[in-house]
Amino acid sequence: RLVHPFMPFVSEAVWQRLPRRGGTNSNKDEAPSLMIAEWPDREDGSGRSLLWRDLEAEAQFGALQRTVEAIRSARAEYGLELSKKITKAKVEVAAGEPSLLQTLQAEKNTLSLFARLDNESTEITSADG
């Protein structure tokens, strides 16, 4: 819908090929043309937000971002060159933070890339063992 003023023929072709969602807003999504379709509402009739946000993913990304910032700050504090990878790094997560531990273990490749750690030798563990 946002690109329609700039590329009307392309956006209309894409609109025609999209599967229609049913449910509370089905009347808005059943418009025969993008040109006359309504914009999506921010809320449905019950006051529930229809913004397509994944709050859990946002929290996980924020935790990953803060961890990278902490590692970069420690590197700067100890005078380690940012261009060189750190080998045999050990990232310890505070006890009582199982979700953070799980997030960092799942995103080990991303953490290693942005913090410039050697992915193969980096270990992510809980501080309690």
- pLDDT tens-digit series, residues 63-86: 999 999 999 999 999 998 888 999
Tell me what pLDDT residue 51 has.
65
- pLDDT tens-digit series, residues 21-38: 554 444 555 778 878 887
Q: What is the pTM of this model?
A: 0.61
Q: What is the 3-state secondary structure (H, E, C) of the chain?
A: CCCCCCCHHHHHHHHHHCCCCCCCCHHHHCCCCHHHCCCCCCECCCCCECCCCCHHHHHHHHHHHHHHHHHHHHHHHCCCCCCCCECCCEEEECCCCHHHHHHHHHCHHHHHHHHCECCCCCEEEECCC
Tell me what pLDDT residue 11 has.
87
Burial class of residue 58, CB neighbours in 10 A (0-12, 13-18, 19+): exposed
